[in-house]
Structure 1
Amino acid sequence: IKLTVIILISLIIFIIFFLISFKRVANKEKLSPFECGFDPFSLSRIPFSLKFFLIAIIFLIFDIEIVIILPFPLLFFNKNIIFFVTFIIINILIR
């Protein structure tokens, strides 16, 4: 009986997915061929502010640091000096 329930639920999910994902109306613009070589209406390269780049780099550094710091409480349970020294060296290099 468990197998029939599993198969029934799987079929119901598959049918619902099929009904939801079915495209009923074809978009004329999407079905038309794409023509290359036209002149763009505006510049494709927008000037990028350096502030956003610096914020992204700082976020990346702190994100990596958090990933390294999160397992730190587990090092005390392990009591392995190699992990602890590696953790300290990586933190010194990051800062």
Structure 2
Amino acid sequence: MGQDLLQKNIERTSVTKGSSDCERGSGDNRPISRITGFHLDEEGHWVAELSCGHTQHLRHQPPWQSRPWVLDPQQRQQHMGMPFDCGWCAQGVDSDTLGR
């Protein structure tokens, strides 16, 4: 769970194998996924499950991360199906390394 500066990045545990379900955003051609679900990690932080197969922590830790909606079940439900910029897809993460 770090970075080997001489070789390549080691993926974080929240990343799962990606799929080709990322859409392309209009104009800038960035990949866009959709939120398909949520789960709690082992430390009690909310994780969004994305249509591309990746996951993304959505922490509410003011003042650095302000996402009070993740703490409310109804507001999380309202975000289901919403577009989400997947940082892993944008980086072109090599999904062959994710199964290690």
TM-score of the pair, normalised by structure 1: 0.20
Greater percentage in helix: 1
Instruction: Return the index of the structure with the highest Cα Rg.
Output: 1
Kindly indicate whether structure 1 or structure 2 has the higher relative contact order, using CA contacts under 8 Å at least 6 residues apart: 2
TM-score of the pair, normalised by structure 2: 0.19
